[in-house]
Amino acid sequence: MLHLVLLLSTFGAPIDAKAPVTPLPQLVAEGKVDTQVVTTGEVKTVCQEKGCWMAVEAKGTGVRVMFANYGFFVPKDVKGKTATLSGKLVKKELSAAESQHFLADEGKSPAEVAKVKGSTVVYQFVADGVAFN
């Protein structure tokens, strides 16, 4: 039964349990982009449309997590859980329209969404595997 529970809480590719974990704040501070890593964080928000992205945070550092090749989604009720992520940090310029889309997916009001103007440069994590504890 324990094996089944673990299977149900993993999405995308399996995560190597022996891989070293790089703390999310270190990953972002070093700007360690395009390198395959494993990291962890608390889920702060999840796309409420499909579960096609989530935002995670660890010790005050947060990133939006996208899923490689749009290949899998996560449950919409994982807010507050700890996520273990396997994938790569990327630096991306988000247009105002993309930022507005993400806010709408979070369930923000049209007035809040409309406040977003201009593009921003952000770090995102592109996960090929996600597991929840």
* pLDDT confidence of residue 5: 38
Within 10 A of 22 (CB to CB), how many other CB atoms are there? 16
pTM over 0.85: no
For residue range 37-70, what is the model confidence (pLDDT) as tens digits? 999 999 999 998 899 999 999 999 999 999 999 9
- The contacts of residue 108 (CB under 8 Å, 6+ apart) are none
* pLDDT confidence of residue 83: 95
Question: How much is the CA Rg of the chain, to the nearest whole Å?
Answer: 15
Cβ-contact 95, 119 below 8 angstroms: yes
Q: Is 94 left (phi over 0), alpha (psi -120 to 50) or beta?
A: beta
Cβ-contact 81, 132 below 8 angstroms: yes
Alpha helix positions (H), the chain: 2-8, 24-29, 96-106, 110-114
* pLDDT confidence of residue 55: 95
Each residue's pLDDT, cut to its tens digit, for the chain (133 residues) gives: 333 334 448 999 999 888 999 999 999 999 989 999 999 999 999 998 899 999 999 999 999 999 999 999 999 999 999 999 999 999 988 788 887 887 887 777 888 878 888 887 788 999 999 999 8
- HSE of 19, CA atoms in CB hemisphere, 13 A: 17
* pLDDT confidence of residue 7: 40
- The contacts of residue 18 (CB under 8 Å, 6+ apart) are none
